[in-house]
Amino acid sequence: FLSMKASHLAESARSLLPHLTEDGVFVLLQNGLPEESLPDDLRLRAVSGIVGYNVQTKDGRYWQSNNGHLILGANPATAVLQKLKQAIEPYEAVTVTDNPLGYRWNKLAINAVINGLGAVSGQPLGAIFSNRAGRLAAMALLDEAGQVMRKLQVKEEIVPGTLSVFRFGTQGLARFVQHLILWILGRKYRHVRTSMLQDIEAGRQTEVEEIHGAIQRAARAAGVQTPVLDAVVH
C-alpha cells in the first residue's frame, strides 16, 4: 500500500518491485489520477485504491469523520483484488471494481471543490457552504469537471457517501436543490478543514498539481474550458 503524496510515487513504487512476489501488486492511495504518473512497467503492477472517507487530524491523532469504503480497482479486475478484499474487510468495507477511473473522477471532482475552496478561503466546509458565493463556486467547479468527464466519456461511479458530479452544474438538478444539498453537507461537515488548507497552514507543498492539475490537463486535451478551476489554481 503506497500512501505517500503523488510527487514521490514513481520512485517509491520502483523501490518496491524487488520485494513483490510474482503476482504481487501495490495499491495506489493517492489523490488525483496517480496511475498517469507511472511508467508502463509499474502501471502493470498497480491497483487503484480510492479512499471513500475523510480523515482529519486532531490533537495529534487521526479520526475518520464519515463512514466509507476502500475501493480497489483494475481493468480488467484480477484475482488479487478479491484476495485483498477478503483480507481487509474485517476492518474496513471494500468495493472491488473494473472501472476504477469512474470512481477516481468522482472523487477527483469533489476533491477539487472542497480542497480548492478550503485552500482559497482559509475556511472550514461549514463556512464555505453556508455562503451563497461558496455554493455557486462549488457548482461551477463540479460543472467544469462534469464537462470534462462527459467529453472523455468517463462512466461515473459514485464513491459511497458522496454525490454524483453530474447532478450539479448547468445540466444537473434544479438550482435550488443543488444549493440545498451543499448547505446540508456544509452543516454535516462544518468543522472539517481540508487537507490542502492544512498543508498551507503548516507550510507544506499542496497537491494542487495532482488534484486540480489533473483536471486541467485532461480539460486541455479534451478542448474544455475551465475558468473557475483555473482561478482556484492561480
Question: How does pLDDT run across 34-57, given as a tens digit for each residue?
Answer: 998 899 889 989 999 999 877 767
How far apart are alpha carbons 234 and 229 in whole angstroms? Answer: 9
Question: How does pLDDT run across 84-95, given as a tens digit for each residue?
Answer: 999 999 888 999
Question: How does pLDDT run across 157-192, given as a tens digit for each residue?
Answer: 999 888 999 999 888 999 999 999 999 999 988 888
Burial (CB < 10 A; 0-12, 13-18, 19+), residue 92, is: middle
Contact 116, 141 (CB under 8 A): yes
Half-sphere exposure for 216 (CA within 13 Å, toward CB): 15
pTM over 0.85? The answer is yes
Strand pairing report for 70-73 and 94-97: parallel
* Mean pLDDT, all residues of the chain: 91
